[in-house]
Amino acid sequence: DTGVSQDPRHKITKRGQNVTFRCDPISEHNRLYWYRQTLGQGPEFLTYFQNEAQLEKSRLLSDRFSAERPKGSFSTLEIQRTEQGDSAMYLCASSLVAGVSYEQYFGPGTRLTVT
Amino acid sequence: AQSVTQLGSHVSVSEGALVLLRCNYSSSVPPYLFWYVQYPNQGLQLLLKYTSAATLVKGINGFEAEFKKSETSFHLTKPSAHMSDAAEYFCAVSEYGNQFYFGTGTSLTVIP
């Protein structure tokens, strides 16, 4: 068990460019979550997957954001036509849903800076 | 609707003193409640969780929290602060274990 990993750890991009982040969850975990965290705030839910199915998306999630988990393992989060307001830390978490256990294990995050 | 309020964005305690971080929640159904800790440049780490079993929950590093339904609270405590406890602490609520809502966090400073 190597934990949740995210790549890249840092990304600087110019406004209008597309960016893609990757998350590798803990191998046996069936749920995967994406969050956004800005300075001084707690993580804000974006979306989550159970296996390969995307079950919920935040109503606050712009159409410029899309996430996939094609084989129920790793996931990607793509932001199209980035804006300065997209600058944030993007966190991924995974969990094994069993009984009433909903423990999430978080990755180190990808820090996005849009210039 | 689910929400979490953490009273006090910054808390300072002396080393060895009691740590008390406050969390109040709003939920239309019996919630699942969590406390996470975040050290600088690291991801969040689960401290403890309440999932409708015992109301007093013990976690890692000597932390514990008590679920009080009548007060809609889930305050985090530790009897004796250690320098290594300095970090950001987040309370989170989930009604059905799908969406999780986090508070804005409390930054804990431990004074030697």
Test mutation, A90, A104, A110, chain B, max B CBs within 10 A: A104
Would you call A106 and B44 a contact, using CB atoms and an 8 Å cutoff? yes
B77 to each of A23, A113, B56, how far by Cα in Å? 33, 36, 11
Would you call B97 and A4 a contact, using CB atoms and an 8 Å cutoff? no
Q: Which residue has the higher pLDDT, B108 or A56?
A: B108
Q: What is the largest CA-CA distance in chain B?
A: 42
Q: Which residue has the higher pLDDT, B98 or A16?
A: A16
Q: Note the pLDDT of residue B12.
A: 97
- Which of A45, A97, A109 is the closest to B101 by Cβ? A45
Which strand (E) or helix (H) includes residue A72?
none
Q: Note the pLDDT of residue A25.
A: 96
Share of chain B above pLDDT 70, in %: 100
Q: What tens digit of pLDDT does each residue of A52-74 get?
A: 999 989 887 889 999 999 988 99
Q: What tens digit of pLDDT does each residue of B3-44 get?
A: 899 999 999 999 999 999 999 999 888 889 999 999 987 889
- Per CB-CB distance under 8 Å, the chain A contacts of B99 are 45, 48, 56, 58
* A108/chain B closest Cα distance in angstroms: 4
Q: Note the pLDDT of residue A32.
A: 95
Kindly report the three-state secondary structure assignment for every residue of chain B. Answer: CCEEECCCCEEEEECCCCEEECCEEECCCCCEEEEEEECCCCCEEEEEEECCCCCEEECHHHCEEEEECCCCEEEEEECCCCHHHCEEEEEEEECCCCCCEECCCEEEEEEC
Q: What tens digit of pLDDT does each residue of B53-101 get?
A: 788 999 999 999 999 999 999 999 999 999 999 999 999 998 877 888 9
Q: Note the pLDDT of residue B1.
A: 72
- Per CB-CB distance under 8 Å, the chain A contacts of B101 are 45
Test mutation, A45, A50, A110, chain B, max B CBs within 10 A: A45
Q: What tens digit of pLDDT does each residue of A65-98 get?
A: 999 999 889 999 999 999 999 999 999 999 987 7
Nearest CA in chain B to A32: B98
Chains A, B: CB contacts within 8 A come to 59
Closest by Cα among B86, B82, B78 to B39? B86
Would you call A105 and B102 a contact, using CB atoms and an 8 Å cutoff? no
Q: Note the pLDDT of residue B41.
A: 78
